[in-house]
Amino acid sequence: MMAGAEIVELLKSNGFDAIFGALPDTVFAFDVGGNLVYANSELRDRLGVDADSYDSPFGTLVDPERREEVRAHFERAISGQTVQYTTAGVLPGGARVRVQVVIAPLRSHGEVVAVVGMARDIEELEISREQSTALQTELERVLNSISDGFYFFSHDWTFSYVNPRGQTIAQRSAEELLGRSLWDVFPDMYASEFGIAYRSAVAESRTVSVRDHYEALGSWLEATAYPTPDGLAVYVRDVSVEEEARQQLIETQNQLAAQGALLDVAHDAIIVRSLGHVIRYWNAAASRIYGWTAEEAVGASARELLYASDEGFVEAAAATLRDGHWSGELIQRTKSGGTLVADSSWTLVVSADGEPESIFTVNTNITERKRQEAILLRAQRLNSLGTFAGGIAHDLNNVLTPILTSAQLLAEGETDPGRLQMLAAIETSAIRGAEMIRQVLSFARGVEGKRVRIEALELLGEFGELCASTLPKSIEVTVDAGEHPRDVLGDRTQLLQVLMNLAVNARDAMPGGGHLTVSARSTEVDGVEAERQGVTAGPFTVITVEDTGVGMSADTISRIFEPFFTTKAPGSGTGLGLATSQAIMSGHGGYLRVYSEPGHGSRFELFLPSTPAVVEDEEQSRDTSEVLPPRGDGQLVLIVDDEQEIRASTRRVLEAHGYSVAVASQGQDAIDYLNSGRSSVDLVLTDIMMPVMDGIALAHALAVSHPDLPIVAMSGLNGNAGRVGAERIVSFLTKPFGSPDLLRAVHDALTRGRGMRDG
């Protein structure tokens, strides 16, 4: 049995890998033992593997119920047949697909050594522009689009298929070729190198390649003949340009000085270097892209000048010497110390006697294109995060609501200090959980938290206490407020989150211990700095967090605020901490600045707008004790929510404060209750998000059947608050809500409902 590496080399030597690599379909090759030995880039992308790590027996990705059937097809292919079939597959991620497959034997010296196949996702094909339902039709379209010629001959050497490029190479139309004998159309081909190769391929049932000048067409051609059960398939490349280019490159090597002005017109960097990688030619575009002049570059080592490491360079050099050419992406450096991504193409230049002489390189700077691709990818990931965050926020807020209301209700009649302390802890934890959910939404969807006046000294003190209980004893924490800094307006929890993110990063930067210093001061941000940072000029409070850790390089600093970027080991960080911190600071009208050097620690400065005096007065005027509204007087409230715990906890609070309560688990049940006439409902308290009929649909229905009935809406997503005012929705409660919020909303809605009826 031929080894996998030999099969892949056979594919390469016959040009199949170049063809398969350009196809949009998945292409594969299995040895006769059923082991995967080749997969083109489309299949590797589907499998999520690189070129050297795929290992999958034939049929692994097939639906288990179809594997025996598919294995039978494989055995037919090994016996020498070309087989076409349709089957169901399961990708590594669990996605199910339906594919149409063509597999055929690959022979070497008359022996079947492998099975080569192509698979097309039928579901994708059906939604494509051509709406093609036959794999053979799509294969013909692919062949027609390939830039090289394809010919199929029947056993009597008549043309049975020719693609458009094949017509161009043959200098004949399809009508002049199809159905006619190859030897009749091209009589002198029978005795040519091509005719001999074609007949040998058929007689010996093996793949044969030939490259020669065909006088009848005046072209250099490279042909590969593949025997098939129906005759012979021939792949032909017109290599006239390549042959001419080979000669031109030799001449160019001797005339570079004279032709330098022409090469300097190019937008891409053109570099010629010796086999030892000493630069011999450096055009003007190379100077613009990399920064070094031709005088500085010529004579220098390309390896030392352009590459910080051997990664990618050694492989490219070896491939060029082995195959005569190489192309791919490389990370290169510039004179300024930065890096760029180059789309690089290397060609081996040979001397007149065929000996390798130099390497001709064309580099295109694609750094900006790669950056835009990365930005798009991050945007897509953040959009997915936002969708996920919204879903869990709704569910968690539904969980927290009965916890919060029940704790507050129990506290009203409790006199035991110990029990009151426990209930207070439950209430505080529920509120803190709701704030954490809001923080996730703040990053993912831009949801803003509640802003209050915060004393900077008090914030630093609380942060110091958190550090003392969170950071290891090997890290000494110093809180230095200096002169009394001005207060700020913000969300205390979010600002503490920013500070704790910085503290955790400092901890990771000081694995052996160190010193963390936190300080605050007042400053003024002038117009120039404000415009640069995108904030409003004026008084600011600066909170500084400084550590004595390992520090960061300039390249790392330039990326630390990118979402999902992290220097930590897999599983040790998400890369969202600093991105979230920057989003929070921006939402507060402030900004972050960072200073760091490798081995000299890091210093982060948080610039927050200071609280104006008028805002402080407003906040102080609002600082009044929370007063519950008057008790109910037997008014009937209909609670509509699909969560049983929310219905129960809300009912207990309302009944404990003088209201009568009826419940319904979804919108239609509420309508049925109201239409039954059993009781006169004074107010409907409904959830927005419910199955079958949601709260908005219920409000629309009640606007017609009970137009005078006020409605209070509630939801675990704050974004639904924008629906207040629709139909009879007079108020909105964001989950989780406490007993005071619930009672106040019900009382206000009943009052407004009476006003609307009287009006």
DSSP 96-122: EEEEEEEEEEEEETTEEEEEEEEEEEH
Distances (CA, A) of 584 to 17, 492, 580: 51, 11, 6
Tokens of 69: 């059937």
Confidence check: pLDDT of 435 > 80: no
Which tokens sit at 299? 């004579």
Q: With contact defined as beta carbons under 8 Å apart, do 689 and 717 qualify? A: yes
Give the pLDDT band (50/70/90) at residue 444: low
Q: Who contacts 171 (Cβ-Cβ below 8 Å, separation ≥6)?
A: 217
Rounded to whole angstroms, the Cα distance separating 658 from 655 reads: 5
pLDDT at 438: 63
Task: Report residue 619's pLDDT band, with 50, 70 and 90 as the boundaries.
Answer: very low
Neighbours of 2 (CB within 10 A): 18
Token pair for 61: 């990705």
Whole-number Å distance between alpha carbons of 63 and 75: 18
- Segment 459-469 mean pLDDT: 81
- pLDDT at position 603: 92
pLDDT of residue 260: 56
Where does the pLDDT of residue 348 fall: very low under 50, low under 70, confident under 90, or very high at 90 and above? very high
pLDDT in tens, 29-88: 888 888 888 888 888 887 776 656 556 677 777 888 888 888 999 999 899 898 999 888
Beta bridge partners of 98: 88
List the single range of 231-235, 384-388, 392-396, 525-529 with lowest mean pLDDT. Answer: 384-388
The CA angle 370-372-376, to the nearest 5 degrees, is: 115
For 698, residues 6+ apart whose C-beta sits below 8 A from its C-beta are 640, 667, 670, 671, 684, 686, 711
Strands 208-214, 159-162: pairing is: unpaired
Q: Can you give the residue ranges of every domain in the chain?
A: 4-145, 149-238, 243-365, 452-622, 636-758
Please name which of 349, 13, 355, 22 lies closest in space to residue 210, comparing C-alpha atoms. 13
Please indicate whether residue 759 or residue 287 has the higher confidence score (pLDDT). Answer: 287
Instruction: Let me know if domain 4-145 sits in CATH 3.20.20.140.
Output: no
Please say if the pLDDT value at position 133 is more than 50. Answer: no
Residues 153, 159, 161, CA angle at the centre, nearest 5°?
85
Cα(577)–Cα(25) distance, rounded to whole angstroms? 40
Beta-carbon count within 10 A of 443 CB: 23
CB contact burial 160-186 (16+ within 10 A = b; e otherwise): ebbbbbbbebbebeeeebeeeebeebb
CB 270 within 8 A of CB 362: yes
Task: Name the residue type at position 97.
Answer: V
Average pLDDT over residues 101-116: 86
Q: Is the pTM of this model over 0.85?
A: no
- The topology (CATH level 3) of 243-365 is Beta-Lactamase (3.30.450)
Tokens standing for residue 453: 């006046």
- The pLDDT score that the predictor gives to residue 566 is 61
Q: What is the DSSP string of 513-577?
A: -EEEEEEEEEEEE-HHHHHHHTS--EEEEEEEEEE-S----HHHHTTTTSTT---SPTTS--S-H
- Cα–Cα distance, 510 to 546 (Å, whole number): 12
What whole-number distance in Å separates Cα of residue 123 and Cα of residue 86? 12
CATH number of the domain at 149-238, please? 3.30.450.20
Give residue 613's pLDDT band: very low, low, confident or very high (50, 70, 90): very low
**461 — pLDDT class (breaks 50, 70, 90):** confident
Class of domain 452-622: alpha beta
- Give the pLDDT mean for 265-283: 87
Residue 617: the pLDDT is 42
Give 635's DSSP letter: -
What span, in angstroms and rounded, lies between the C-alpha atoms of 194 and 357?
31
Q: How deeply is 689 buried, as exposed, middle or buried, from its count of CB atoms within 10 A (0-12, 13-18, 19+)?
A: middle
Mean pLDDT of the chain: 80
Tens of pLDDT along 560-607? 777 655 655 544 444 456 777 887 888 888 998 899 889 888 999 999
pLDDT tens-place string over residues 278-301: 999 998 889 999 999 989 999 999
Task: Give me the pLDDT at residue 61, please.
Answer: 79
CATH architecture assignment, domain 636-758: 3-Layer(aba) Sandwich (3.40)
Say which range, 240-249, 260-269, 745-754, has the weakest mean pLDDT.
260-269
Residue 704 burial by Cβ neighbours in a 10 Å radius (0-12, 13-18, 19+):
exposed
Of residues 179 and 724, more confidence is placed in 179
What per-residue confidence (pLDDT) applies to 170? 92
Comparing C-alpha atoms, which of 550, 553, 480 is closest to residue 520?
480
- The burial of 620, by beta-carbon neighbours within 10 Å (0-12 exposed, 13-18 middle, 19 or more buried), is given as exposed
216 versus 261: the higher-pLDDT residue is: 216
Res. 759: pLDDT tops 80: no
- Structural contact between residues 606 and 590, judged by C-beta atoms closer than 8 angstroms: yes
How much is the pLDDT for 694?
Answer: 84
Distance of CA 423 to the CA centre of its chain: 44
Residues 6+ apart with CB under 8 A from 28: 36, 38, 39, 40, 43, 116, 117, 118, 119
Q: Are 478 and 420 in contact (CB under 8 A)?
A: no
In this prediction, residue 717 carries a pLDDT of 67
**Cβ contacts of 254 within 8 Å, gap of 6 or more:** none
Task: Residue 520: name the closest of 487, 490, 556, 474 by CA.
Answer: 487
User: Residue for token digits 């830039």?
Assistant: 147
pLDDT tens digits, residue range 512-524? 889 999 998 889 9
Q: In what order do the strands lie in the sheet with 660-664?
A: 660-664, 636-640, 683-687, 711-715, 729-734
For position 645, what pLDDT does the model report?
86
Q: Specify the pLDDT at position 63.
A: 83
The predicted structure's pLDDT at residue 97: 81
Question: Of all helices (H) and strands (E), which one includes residue 620?
Answer: helix 613-622
**464 CB-near residues (< 8 Å, 6+ apart):** 477, 479, 518
Tell me: pLDDT of 132 over 50.
no
The answer to whether 757 and 708 have CB atoms below 8 angstroms apart is yes
346 vs 369, more confident: 346
Q: How many CB atoms lie within 10 A of CB 322?
A: 10
Ramachandran category for residue 554: left, alpha or beta (phi over 0 → left; psi -120 to 50 → alpha): alpha
Q: pLDDT for 482-503, tens place per residue? A: 667 888 888 887 888 888 888 8
Residue 345: predicted pLDDT: 92
In this chain, the answer to whether the domains covering 4-145 and 243-365 adopt an identical fold is yes
Long-range contacts, stretch 153-158, CB < 8 angstroms, 24+ apart: 153/182, 153/198, 153/231, 153/232, 153/233, 153/234, 154/230, 154/231, 155/230, 155/231, 156/181, 157/181, 157/182, 157/183, 157/231, 157/232, 158/182
Residue 685 · residue 638 · CB < 8 Å: yes
Q: Which tops the pLDDT comparison, 568 or 11?
A: 11
- C-alpha 285: how far from chain center: 33
Q: Are 397 and 736 in contact (CB under 8 A)?
A: yes
